[in-house]
Structure 1
């Protein structure tokens, strides 16, 4: 075959050859990297401490820094705290009084003097406050977020400043 008379075909064959070599080298590099890190190794998926997993997160444990509602609100479970927040307190309100399961519940409020604070949403569960998986920050003295829940019946929510443990008033939204 006369390659001098067909330069386009020659260039195309050379390009395909280079692509195959680069692909083989890239695949080999990926295989070596996977083997070195242990990704995809069946033993890495076990819970045994002798496992050779490279990327392992520690299991969560209880901390002693958690506070009870009695420590933060000065009330016992089942009693209503004062809805009058001090000048530097957090005032919380819910836009909806009742919603369907998994319908959006808009929570808004003010926190004068709390600029930049991170607020943790909490829900009353079995007589104790539990963190709801929602946080928000205070900007301009105000905050807003929403939550969704499928737990039917009255749901009590509040927010807590994660740094100072200042607690808002409670709001109740009926789901169902």
Structure 2
């Protein structure tokens, strides 16, 4: 084969395309690497360079997390609200009242989270039972001229309780809770269904 025959070989488009693709990938990689290096430099994400006088990473802390310490158990109820939504107050809030006029022992205060709901929508019942730690409270509804048990109970913890009910009984519905062991009754709340 003569050297002139080599120049007359057919073009190799696959090889030429592959070389062009590698060249483009190399150029794009270099550009993206430069952009990433610039971003790291601007954002300060690079490694520590301690050659400038010995300032360590601890000198540049911007976040301080204190050492956790255990806390004691609460001595009073976590939530103390009166049925009207105002705070129930304590001897500290009202210095003119004596300590003997605080909330009486064995009192159940009931609140409804909603006053009007659609049928079968959740109704939140919460409250405070002073002196009733561990008691089981039965939810009751006023129906047919008497209080009847509703198939929901709540237990008292830290002198507070919470539960929810659902009903499809349209109109005004009156609810209360009653201590299953002592028979002590709460105030009643009214919720309109419909």
Normalising by structure 2, we get a TM-score of 0.46
Residue 99 of structure 1: aligned partner:
117
2:178 paired residue among 153, 157, 160: 160
CA–CA distance in structure 2, aligned partners of residues 101 and 86 of structure 1: 36
- Matched residue count: 92
- C-alpha root-mean-square deviation of aligned residues, in Å? 1.0
Displacement after TM superposition at 1:87 (Å): 3.4
2:161 paired residue among 136, 140, 143: 143
CA–CA distance in structure 1, aligned partners of residues 177 and 154 of structure 2: 9
Name which structure has the greater RCO, CA cutoff 8 Å, separation 6+: 1
Q: Deviations over 1:13-69 (max 9, x none)?
A: xxxxxxxxxxxxxxxxxxxxxxxxxxxxxxxxxxxxxxxxxxxxxxxxxxxxxxxxx
Structure 1: state its 5+ residue gaps: 1-84
**Residues 23-172 of structure 1 correspond to what in structure 2 (within 5 A)?**
86-172=104-190
Displacement after TM superposition at 1:88 (Å): 1.8
CA–CA distance in structure 1, aligned partners of residues 170 and 122 of structure 2: 14
CA–CA distance in structure 2, aligned partners of residues 145 and 152 of structure 1: 21
- Work out whether residues 104 and 130 of structure 2, in 8 Å CA contact, stay in contact via their aligned partners in 1: no
Moved over 3 A (4+): none
- The reply on whether 1:173 has 2:191 as its aligned counterpart is yes
